């Protein structure tokens, strides 16, 4: 049997299926209603026990994964304290419903409400609500959690979806691959799979029904295929491909400590894009020369208010210390578009076109309180490493000047408070709007470096939403307009004595990298797992060959 899905984490693996069945049904033994007082007492005892379990998970995530993963469980605690949720359960108990039924119906209501929103981030929060609901129902029914720690060696985990609680508890070194019926490409399970190099396929319909425990599976995470109990010829073919994949990985380890230079000797800096400590681990393992893009918006998600200066400072300090003096470019808050954070957008309501609206530097310049808190935390952390600060989504010179003015205000405040910071911290911008590229000669005089964000640059230049299947074929990084804007940006930067990196997805595309090198880029910042693949491509590339006509 051949099953198809959406590839979400690369790689090919072979293993026996371990099917995780979804827990949604309330045990029939708990359907009897025993009076309001008794049902409410059981409800609040279950809430207390759930909080205890979640706090243990949070501690485990802090110790073994990252602060970002721990914040997911902080969001779960907030759900348990949500007054609307508590009121709904109490109201259903008042109506004469057993507490387990009341919880299940209330959870389903909020889950469906989130899934019905026209916002991918909020849709994916539905899994957090469901996770909390499953935990409460399990506690009320006296069931134990599925044991994902003692799963069989070298198994392929098959599930409808994986909650954050399950991914935190699963023994990742025993899992060869993951097959899911649901989930989004930015879900927690996908992030974990990519971080640990586990192939993962999403959207495999009826996988938990069609696949049985012990079935032999080939998971092709490169193209999204699952072979169930494959024929001998298919099995032999894939075994050869897995051996080739292993050999290629071993060959890449041989170039781990080589300096990144083109075949004709031109030096290219090879950095990593990260958003959490898991990705930092992979960047260090693959000998990244620095961090070319550290996303900070993850610190602001899954919570009801912005992170404090102290919380941000500790996180930035950890990253800088672990990089041991290598450059770390930290991007200031970049939200909006498909990254809507409710507490930041409560006042303005729904935008008709969020990608052209209140986002990134525009939000930060308006919410000076949030911006200054982040800048102060960054400046305080700057003495623990080689920090560079980067402003996103710039479209005019005024935005750069305003952002720099606010940064100077923060420096002055810290001076007066007697707090140390790097007084010469470098400041750069992302060039991701056509406007920024077209005035890059002006902007280059105001900053210390450029980083080209090709994802948005392509989208805005070609007027194409790459997530829209109807027009995604028009999303073309090699379009002459894109190549001209990149070339113009690099030339203007070099004329003003500053370097240019590329941190968009094309930097991780080994087929596009030669074009970037020939256009004159100084630095590539890539997905941490792609560092060695891109290094190999750079080593094979001759930098002075002619590029496609522009």
Chain segment 26-49, per-residue pLDDT in tens:
343 446 777 888 889 999 999 999
pLDDT per position as a tens digit, 223-274: 999 999 999 999 999 999 999 988 888 888 889 999 999 999 999 999 999 9
Q: Which residue has the higher pLDDT, 170 or 372?
A: 372
Q: What is residue 291's DSSP assignment?
A: E
Are 538 and 530 in contact by the 8 Å Cβ rule? The answer is: no
Q: Tell me: pLDDT of 490 over 70.
A: yes
Task: Please give the pLDDT value at position 545.
Answer: 63
- Residue 549's pLDDT band (boundaries 50, 70, 90)? very low
What stretch of H or E contains 50? Answer: helix 36-64
What's the farthest any 2 CA atoms get from each other in the chain?
81
Residue 76 bears catalytic tag: no
Are 207 and 4 in contact by the 8 Å Cβ rule? The answer is: no
Are 274 and 528 in contact by the 8 Å Cβ rule? The answer is: yes
Are 537 and 510 in contact by the 8 Å Cβ rule? The answer is: yes
User: Which residues partner with 16 through β-bridges?
Assistant: 155, 216
Indicate the angle between helix axes 277-285 and 309-322, nearest 10 degrees: 10
List the alpha helices (DSSP H) in 142-276: 164-169, 188-195, 207-210, 232-254
Q: Tell me: pLDDT of 305 over 90.
A: no
- Residue 121's pLDDT band (boundaries 50, 70, 90)? low
Task: Please give the pLDDT value at position 79.
Answer: 87
Task: Please give the pLDDT value at position 420.
Answer: 97
| Candidates 155, 188, 364, 410; catalytic one | 188
What stretch of H or E contains 38? Answer: helix 36-64
Least confident of 56-70, 189-203, 363-377: 56-70
Q: Cα(414)–Cα(236) distance, rounded to whole angstroms?
A: 64
Residues sharing a CB contact under 8 Å with residue 290, sequence separation 6 or more, in sequence order = 269, 271, 272, 323, 326, 327, 328, 329, 386
| % the chain with pLDDT above 70 | 89
| Candidates 155, 364, 410, 503; catalytic one | 503
Tell the burial category of 463 from Cβ atoms under 10 Å away from its Cβ (0-12, 13-18, 19+): exposed
- Range 399-405 average pLDDT: 98
pLDDT per position as a tens digit, 445-478: 999 999 999 999 999 999 988 767 678 788 899 9
Q: Angle CA(537)–CA(538)–CA(540) in degrees, nearest 5? A: 65
Strand ranges of the sheet holding 12-20, from the earlier edge strand across to the other edge: 2-4, 225-228, 216-220, 12-20, 155-159, 175-180, 200-202, 6-9
Q: What is the 3-state secondary structure (H, E, C) of 234-254?
A: HHHHHHHHHHHHHHHHHHHHH
- Residue 73's pLDDT band (boundaries 50, 70, 90)? confident
pLDDT per position as a tens digit, 308-359: 999 999 999 999 999 999 999 999 999 876 666 777 776 676 777 777 888 8
Q: What is the pTM of this model?
A: 0.72
What is the pLDDT of the chain when averaged over all its residues? 88
Block residue for tokens 């094979």: 540
Q: Tell me: pLDDT of 67 over 70.
A: no
Residue 396 bears catalytic tag: no
């Amino acid at each position: 049997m051949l099953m198809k899905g959406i590839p979400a984490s690369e790689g090919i693996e072979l293993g026996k299926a371990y099917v995780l069945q979804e827990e949604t049904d309330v045990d029939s033994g708990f359907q009897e209603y025993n009076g309001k007082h008794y049902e409410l007492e059981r409800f609040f005892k279950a809430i207390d026990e759930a909080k205890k379990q979640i706090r243990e998970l949070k501690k485990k995530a802090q110790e073994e994964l990252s602060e970002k993963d721990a914040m997911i469980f902080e969001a779960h605690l907030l759900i348990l304290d949500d007054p609307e949720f508590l009121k709904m359960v109490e109201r259903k108990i008042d109506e004469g419903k057993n507490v387990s039924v009341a919880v299940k119906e209330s959870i389903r209501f909020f889950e469906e409400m989130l899934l019905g929103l026209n916002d991918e981030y909020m849709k994916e929060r539905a899994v957090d609500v469901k996770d909390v609901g499953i935990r409460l129902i399990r506690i009320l029914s006296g069931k134990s959690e599925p044991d994902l720690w003692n799963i069989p060696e070298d198994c392929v985990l098959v599930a409808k979806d994986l909650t954050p609680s399950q991914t935190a508890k699963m023994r990742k070194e025993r899992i060869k691959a993951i097959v899911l019926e649901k989930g989004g490409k930015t879900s927690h399970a996908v992030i974990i799979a990519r971080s640990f190099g586990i192939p993962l396929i999403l959207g495999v319909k009826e996988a938990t029904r069609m696949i049985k425990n012990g079935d032999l599976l080939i998971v092709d995470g490169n193209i999204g295929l699952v072979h169930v109990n494959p024929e001998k010829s298919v099995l032999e073919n894939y075994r050869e491909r897995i051996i080739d994949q292993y050999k290629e990985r071993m060959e890449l380890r041989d170039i781990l400590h080589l300096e990144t230079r083109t075949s004709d000797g031109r030096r290219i800096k090879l950095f990593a894009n990260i958003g959490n400590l898991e990705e930092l681990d992979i960047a260090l393992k693959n000998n990244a020369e620095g961090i070319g893009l550290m996303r900070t918006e993850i610190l602001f998600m899954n919570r009801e208010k912005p992170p404090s200066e102290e919380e941000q400072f500790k996180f930035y300090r950890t990253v800088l210390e672990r990089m041991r003096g290598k450059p770390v470019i930290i991007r200031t808050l970049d939200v909006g578009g498909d990254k809507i954070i409710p507490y930041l957008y409560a006042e303005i309501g729904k935008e008709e076109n969020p990608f052209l609206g209140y986002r990134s530097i525009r939000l930060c310049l308006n919410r000076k309180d949030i911006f200054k808190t982040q800048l102060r935390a960054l400046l305080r952390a700057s003495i623990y490493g080689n920090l560079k600060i980067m402003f996103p989504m710039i479209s005019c010179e005024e935005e750069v000047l305003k952002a720099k003015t606010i940064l100077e205000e923060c420096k002055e405040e810290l001076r007066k408070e007697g707090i140390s910071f790097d007084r010469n911290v470098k400041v750069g911008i992302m060039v991701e709007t056509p406007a920024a590229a077209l005035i890059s000669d002006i902007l280059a005089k105001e900053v210390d470096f450029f980083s080209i964000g090709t994802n948005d640059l392509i989208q805005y230049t070609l007027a194409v939403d790459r997530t829209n299947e109807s027009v995604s074929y028009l999303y073309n990084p090699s379009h002459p307009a894109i190549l001209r804007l990149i070339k113009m940006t690099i030339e203007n930067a070099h004329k003003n004595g500053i370097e240019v990196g590329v941190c968009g997805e094309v930097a991780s595309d080994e087929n596009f990298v030669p074009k970037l090198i020939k256009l004159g880029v100084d630095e590539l910042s890539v997905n941490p797992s792609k560092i060695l693949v891109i290094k190999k491509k750079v080593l094979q590339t001759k930098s002075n060959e002619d590029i496609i006509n522009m």
